[in-house]
Amino acid sequence: MAFTLPALTFEYQALEPYVDTTTMQIHHTKHHQTYITNVNNALEKFPELASLGIVDLNKAVGTDKIPKELATVVRNNGGGHWNHSFFWKVLTAPTNSNGPSAELKAAIDASFGSMDDLKTKFNAAATTRFGSGWAWLGMKPDGTLGITSTPNQDNPLMPVADDHLVPILGLDVWEHAYYLKYQNRRPEYIAAFWNVVNWEQVNANFTAAVGGAVPSL
C-alpha cells in the first residue's frame, strides 16, 4: 500500500509569526511529498516490503530486511516521510497548547532538572547538528528521557542511529524548514519553535512511549 501525504491539523498560516505561511506550504506540499513519491517509487519494485508500515520500514534501516540497492533511498526518503509525519503532529497554533502534563513534567524534571534545562539541552542539540538534520526528545531503553540529534533524515528508531530513543518531540533543522524567514539564524528559529509545540500531542507520545509503543502518526 503506497504512502500518502498526511493532512495537517492546522492551516498553513496558523504558526505565524514563528513559522511563516510560505515555508509551511512548501515544506508540506513539496518537500514532504517528494520523500513520499521517492519511497513509493522505490518500493514498487519490491512488493515483499509492501506489508511494512512506515515505522517498521524505519526500524529496518541498516538491516538485511532492506535490499542493498534500496538501502539509501529508503533511509533518506522513508526517514523523511516518518520524520515529517511526526513533526507536523507536534506543531500547533501558538495559543492552542497548555504545556506538558504532570506526568511528563515529572519525567522532564527527573531526567534534566527542569523544563528550562530541557530546553537548553534540546536547543544545543539542534544548534550544533552540523548541516541538515533533526533534534529529538525521546524515551531511552531504561525509561528515562534523553535528547539526541540525527543527520539528514535519520531518526532514533533506526538501528543506524547513535542513540536509540522512542521520539516524543522532534525539530527539523534542515534549512528548508526555516531559511525563508530566519536565513542563517538557526538559533532564532529553534527558540521560536517552543511557541508552537503541541504539548497535548507530546503528552500522548509520552504515554505511548511509557507503554512501549512508537507514537502513532
Which residue segments constitute the domains of the chain, with CATH numbers given?
20-89 (1.10.287.990), 102-210 (3.55.40.20)
Q: Please check if 28 is assigned to a binding site.
A: no
Q: Please check if 164 is assigned to a binding site.
A: no
Q: Please check if 176 is assigned to a binding site.
A: yes
Distance CA 100, CA 87 (A): 17
Q: Please check if 32 is assigned to a binding site.
A: no
Half-sphere exposure of 148 (CA within 13 A, CB side): 20
Q: Is 177 left (phi over 0), alpha (psi -120 to 50) or beta?
A: alpha
**Residue 50: which pLDDT band, with cuts at 50, 70 and 90?**
confident
Cis ω for the linkage preceding 187 (within 30 of 0) = no
What's the pLDDT tens digit per position in 83-128? 999 999 999 999 999 999 999 999 999 999 999 999 999 999 999 9
- Residue 48's pLDDT is 83
Query: Looking at the whole model, is its pTM more than 0.85?
Result: yes
